[in-house]
Structure 1
Amino acid sequence: MRLRNRKQHLRQRAAIFPGRKFSMQNKKLSAIYSAYLACLNHQEWENLGNYVADHVAYNGHCIGYAGYLHARQDEFRTIPDLHFSAQLLIADEAMVACRLDFNITPSGDFLGLPVNGKRISFAEHAFYEFENGKIAKVWSVLDQAAIESQLFP
């Protein structure tokens, strides 16, 4: 019964998103991505390499694993209450699209804005391309207008 429901669910998703392939591989990629977020949230830096490729690119720039690790560590240093929370997650054969919601209190400037410890809420829309089960490319867009509207009402 459960397998039939899974097949029915995949057919329904295929009807909503024509041209996209939905399979158990997509579920596996979703699980890998969820484990990656848990790794970030627990700051398990020694395990990040299980999820991120050595040649990772961020918004079109090859920053490599060391650059990616350093950027994530810096985020947690300047945003002590940082927590990655996926509100929407869609996966296909090699990509994950995600809406992450944040409710954080950055110290100092954030995205060039004088946040200085004020609590802000915003969304990030991120797209991840996977190679061999690891994140190889990331495209990220943050809702800076939402932040500005909270700082300068």
Structure 2
Amino acid sequence: MTRNQLADLYRGYIDCLNRQDWEHLGAFVHPQVTYNATTVGLAGYRAMLERDFCEIPDLVFRIQLLVADPPTVASRLNFHVTPKGEFFGLPINGKTVTFDENVFYEFVDGKIAHVWSVIDKAAIEQQL
């Protein structure tokens, strides 16, 4: 897969998330996907995303930076959201916050097999 093909595949994945098209998530995510070095599998990964959308009704993934170097993608995602209740253990309770996530993906057989994510919790804390 070329850099451009991998970048396009990743953009398709982000579009799938933003549409909450869970039936097609398996087209992008490996059945044995790991998240931060823990095997969660496709079902666990889907459940995590569905929970995120439930807790953050206005969730939209916005790509700020995308670097594709097969088989790896590095992305900086930006969020401007209004979580319900607590968020990362912080009392957000309906306040709108803006933060970034730095995330790395490794693709195996054309699907996301490994995800490493770091969310800028300090940026959220500063807004409270």
Quick one: distance in 1 between partners of 2:86 and 2:6?
Answer: 34
1:4-153 alignment, distance < 5 Å: 25-151=2-128
- Once the two structures are TM-superposed, the CA of residue 93 in structure 1 deviates from its matched residue by 1.4
Which runs of 5 or more structure 1 residues have no equivalent in the other structure? 1-23
Taking structure 1 as the reference length, what is the TM-score of the superposition?
Answer: 0.83
For the aligned residues, what is the CA RMSD? 0.7
May I ask how many residue pairs the two structures share in their alignment?
128
Q: Which has the higher contact order (CA 8 A, sep 6+)?
A: 2
Quick one: distance in 2 between partners of 1:110 and 1:76?
Answer: 12
Q: Which residue type is aligned with residue 98 of structure 1?
A: S
Taking structure 2 as the reference length, what is the TM-score of the superposition?
Answer: 0.99
Quick one: distance in 2 between partners of 1:37 and 1:31?
Answer: 10
Q: Which residue type is aligned with residue 43 of structure 2?
A: A
Q: Which has the larger radius of gyration?
A: 1
Which runs of 5 or more structure 2 residues have no equivalent in the other structure? none
